[in-house]
Each structure stands twice: as C-alpha cells, then as structure tokens.
Amino acid sequence: MAMRFPSDGMEEDEVIRELKIRTREDLTFDSGRILGSMCTSPHPLARRVFEMFIDRNLGDPGLHTGSRRIEKEAVGMLASLLGLEGGYGHIVSGGTEANILAVRDMRNMSDSEKPELVLPRSAHFSFLKASDMLGVRLVWAELRDDYTVDVRDVERKITDDTVGIVGIAGTTGLGVIDDIPALSDLAVDYGLPLHVDAAFGGFVIPFAKALGYDLPDFDFRLRGVSSVTVDPHKMGMVPIPAGGIIFRDKKALDSISVPASYLAGGGVSQATITGTRPGASALATWALIKHLGFSGYVRVVDRVMKLSRWFASRIKLMDGLRLVREPVLNIVSFTSTAMDVGTLGTELRARGWGVSAHRGYIRIVMMPHVRKENLEEFLRDVSLLLAGNASNL
Ligand SMILES: Cc1ncc(COP(=O)(O)O)c(C=O)c1O
C-alpha cells in the first residue's frame, strides 16, 4: 500500500493507539514465545537510562564530553571482563558493525593487495557484509565433528595474503566455542591478528566459568587475540542498539579512524561506521554493568545455563527428536528424526513460536526472558506436531 505523507497531524493518543493495535501481531519477549533470538527484554534500569539520555550523540563527542568519557569507561569495563587492562574501542550498533570494524582494522594493517581472511564455516553472516564492503576475500575453514573450527585447516588456509584469522566464542547456531587458545598460538606463530567474535559468548563465558563450567579461554588473556566483539544488546540485557568492539592496541583504532572536522563540538576523528550514533547505548551499557556487577551477571547466566541443560535432557527423552550436540552455552539445538525440520519450524511459527529452523535444526536460545513454563508449552506443541505427522504417514 502506498503511504502518503499526512497533510495534518494526528493527536498523540491516537498515534499511540494505532501503533499499539498495529504491533499486536509482533511477538514480544515478555510473552516468552521468542525462543530463537539472541535479543531479550532489556533490563528496566538500562531502559530507563536509555530513555533519559536519548538525545546524546557520540558521533559529535566534543558536545557530549561526559558521555564520551562514560563510553570509554564502558569499553574499559568490557575489556577488563575480557582480561585486558585498558583496551580501545566503542559501543557500536551491534555485532555486525563490530565485526566489520575488526575486519577493516585487519585489512588496513596489512599491505596485501588481495586481502584474505580465514574464518570458520560457522561464522556469522556479518562477515559476508564485511567482505563485500571491504574487498576482503573470505577463506572458509572447515569444522570438526564437534562443530568447532578445525585449527589445522585454518593453518592450511593461511597464505601470504592472509590479513587475519577469526575465531568464534559462542557460534550463532550452536553456541560452541572454537579452540581459541590454539588459534591464538597460530596467530602468534604467523604474526597475524586474531579477531574473536564473542558477540554472544562474551556476556556468558566469563560468568559461566566462574560458576565452574569447563570452558576454554577465549579472550585477551591469550596473547594472540587482538580484538573481540562483545554485544551488550544480547546477553548484556541492554536495549538495542548496543554492540561492542574492543581492540588490544590503540594503533588498531587509529588504523580505522578518519578525520571528522566539521563537528559542532570540535574536530575529532571517527572510527565507527555510523556517524551520528546513540550515546544512550553506551550510557545504558555502563549503567547496567555498574548495577549488576560480575555477581549479578553470574546469577543471570546461572539460571539460563541450568535451564538449557534441563531442556536438553527433555529433548533427549522425546521420541522423534535428537540433540545436535550437548549444549556448551545457553543454546540448545535439536533436529527431528520423525519429521522434516523445515516443516516442523514452519508449523511451530504458525502456532506463534519465534523459532528458526536452519542448517537442519531448530535452535533455542535460552535468553533471560525464557521461562520453564514457556519451554514446557513449546515441547507440548512439538509433541503434538510430531504425533500429527506420524498419523499422516
Ligand atoms: C556470533 C555472532 N556474531 C555477530 C552477530 C551479529 O550481531 P548483530 O545482529 O547485533 O549485528 C551475531 C548475531 O546473532 C552473532 O551470533
């Protein structure tokens, strides 16, 4: 339907009423029916802070110097969570922008004329965008049976044109963590930067480790790691948009900075893809980290990790379903031995569940908004669909 720009305005109440009606068809996180997203209902404090400071623009940091300092502190706290004193980076629009910035840095720091990036087959599609925009060829490394990247294949794929290596700490599909210590050794041996995409895992792994889960190192504690993506708007429970990119060295940030001279707050340089960008995201990130602290996030992660293991045990008991692999983080993926998974996914969506069926499995991301009763109801629907499918055979 073609929309016309209205000649006269509507009353505020009327606008809100219409929006409420029109968005009724949206799935909300509060309903507990979104099971396949890495986003969640933002924490009330982060929501409040976001609204309070909604007009701050970190694209013109000279105007909002207090906010810029707070962004630096937020980056510093994220770096410290990831084992680094100091650290350089930004709160950006999401994991996609963070990954693009990391690839841009690796390309700019190299003198190859045909830059290549070696990355796992399981990498997020944001690297396809990075490749397209930056003219960096993607060289895919194969996965092992446990769905982590085959480090020997990564090594085989390194050439004189390789500008960097990517490892993933919490893959999008299965939540597995690559052998980052081995990738770090490789990066050191070959003198290459290693970027770790911990967009999801960065706000899970440190807390899960503190709870006693046996997980590999994945961050700046490893010498070869030069940058990490870590997203506050995923398990950090900060409102969208809030991604994070952290570099070990200042020269990385310098390599992607351009002069930004006309700004009202005075000329500075800018490293982010976006120009005008929400200071509220950085402030909300800072506020929630300050409020919850390490122990607060440990409690959040404790609950979702336990729920994931409970859910995995239920899947194992159900006829016609099979776990793709034991969960590593708070993502549980399963497939069906009794029914086409694509059809199962479509039927579940038709019943109002927000799940995706891709690569032959359905993936449940146990975000903080997901409750046990939602999962019980979900499993009842899965059983009904499997039974219905069996009677159709
Ligand atoms: C591992 C990983 N990296 C990057 C991204 C991209 O993040 P965003 O959607 O915030 O741009 C995702 C999104 O799910 C992800 O799972």
pLDDT tens digits, residue range 262-317?
Answer: 888 887 899 999 999 999 999 999 999 999 999 999 999 999 999 999 999 999 99
What digits encode the pLDDT tens for the residues 332-367? 999 999 999 999 999 999 999 999 888 899 999 999
**Beta carbons within 8 Å of 161's beta carbon, 6+ residues apart:** 112, 113, 114, 115, 116, 137
**Domain holding 298: CATH number?**
3.90.1150.10
Domain extent at residue 313: 27-42+294-392
Q: What is the mean pLDDT of residues 88-99?
A: 98
Pairing, β 321-323 against β 243-247:
unpaired
pLDDT band at 393 (very low <50, low <70, confident <90, very high): very low
Ligand 1 pocket test target in 127, 128, 231, 333 with most atoms within 8 Å of CB: 231
**94 and 210 inside one domain:** yes
pLDDT at 90 exceeding the cut of 80: yes
279 lines ligand 1 (CB under 6 A): no
| Cα distance between residue 299 and residue 208, in whole Å | 10
**36 and 48 inside one domain:** no
**251 and 325 inside one domain:** no
pLDDT at 111 exceeding the cut of 90: yes
| Cα distance between residue 178 and residue 180, in whole Å | 5
pLDDT at 263: 85
Q: What is the mean pLDDT of residues 177-184?
A: 98
Closest by CA to 336, choosing from 358, 363, 360, is 360
Contact present, 304 and 214 (Cβ < 8 Å): no
pLDDT at 104: 98
Q: What is the mean pLDDT of residues 174-202?
A: 98
pLDDT at 206: 98
pLDDT at 392 exceeding the cut of 60: no
**172 and 305 inside one domain:** no
Atom of ligand 1 nearest to the CA of 234: 10
pLDDT at 390: 62
**Domain holding 170: CATH number?**
3.40.640.10
**257 and 326 inside one domain:** no
pLDDT at 205 exceeding the cut of 50: yes
Closest by CA to 332, choosing from 367, 357, 364, 368, is 364
Number of domains in the chain: 2
**129 and 277 inside one domain:** yes
122 lines ligand 1 (CB under 6 A): no
pLDDT at 359: 85
Q: What is the mean pLDDT of residues 32-46?
A: 97
Query: Domain end: 242, 266, 291, which one?
Result: 291
The pLDDT mean for the chain works out to 96
Atom of ligand 1 nearest to the CA of 243: 10
